Amino acid sequence: MRAKKTAADEMIRGPRVESAIDAATSVLGFDDAPSARELRDPRELYPKPPFEKQTQPWPGLAGLMTPRPDHGEESYRGSGRLLGRKALITGGDSGIGRAAAIAFAREGADVAINYLPEEEADAKEVMTLLGEAEVNAVALPGDIRDEGFCRKLVDDAARDLGGLDILVNNAARQHARKSILDITTEDLDWTFQTNLYALFWITKAAIPHLQPGSSIINTSSIVAFDPSPQLLDYSATKAAILNFTRCLAKQLADKGIRVNAVAPGPFWTALQPSGGQFPDHLAEFGADTPLGRPGQPAEIAPLYVLLASNEASFTTGQVFGATGGEVGP
């Protein structure tokens, strides 16, 4: 429990300091002011390994995971940082994309989410949450491995939202393989088309819609810096996304459009039990991080909010890590 504030506290802190703390609490998106002001041990905030062994067919559903991931459904509090903005998020049904969608909506942005039709159950949950935020929410299912669909996705999002000024390229394919000898050409194409080609196609289609002040945020990964041997093709795409981000930031700077990336470490998402990790490894997923656990999507959403907002107006071509202490950006 938090100790009661004394008269001396009032004299030392004063109303201006209290107001600043209240503002900071709101900006960080924490669930309630008193707990947000307390020190909270990051090692103990969320579930730690060992986890129950579990597998799902690709692409996986967050609703079937044990424990269920925390996307900020109950905890994220907005403060109007994205009022009037219009965002398209790929992979917005679960994981990091879902957390970003919830955070954006609660910050006042209209949001369109893309996802595979097989993920409809998760997407419906997200759409309900976005509706509760009283913003314009649009569901745009489809496979981004198709260039024509990618162009249509962007045009539909811009039409239905009445414009577009935030693009989050987040959807990804990850499938663990022990050896390069186990990766087929079909596997390689699937990973590269989802992670890299689609990012290129969607971004190219989005740029004509973006005005000065707009923001593009790409999801890279810690494996771009410290590649996992079982994620050869995935690691290659995430490293390419880093250079894509840095190069595009230079191209678009004279248009007033910022381009940045987020590099997550191990995060507890539907990507993992649906082939992203070997089942035996999943039971200890995140245990080897300095914090001793995987991240939850709710913990990384504030980075996306920051990069989308005007508060990051001098930030472009950068990569922000959330890795639990592992080597990253």
Share of the chain above pLDDT 70, in %: 89
Q: What is the mean pLDDT of residues 84-113?
A: 98
197 is catalytic: no
Go through the domains of the chain in sequence order and give each one's CATH number.
Answer: 60-322 (3.40.50.720)
Q: Which residues contact 163 (CB under 8 A, 6 or more apart)?
A: 86, 209
Cα separation, 231 vs 154, in Å, equals 29
Q: What is the mean pLDDT of residues 220-224?
A: 97
Q: What is the pLDDT of residues 33-65, one digit of tens each?
A: 445 568 999 999 999 999 999 999 989 999 999
Q: What is the mean pLDDT of residues 318-325?
A: 96
Cα separation, 219 vs 174, in Å, equals 13
Q: What is the pLDDT of residue 36?
A: 58
Q: Which of 76, 115, 197, 234 is catalytic?
A: 234
Q: How many CB atoms lie within 10 A of CB 40?
A: 11
With beta carbons less than 8 A apart as the criterion, state whether 73 and 105 touch. Answer: no
Q: Is the pLDDT of residue 67 over 60?
A: yes
Q: Is 229 helix (H, G, I), strand (E, B) or coil?
A: coil
Q: Indicate the pTM of the whole model.
A: 0.88
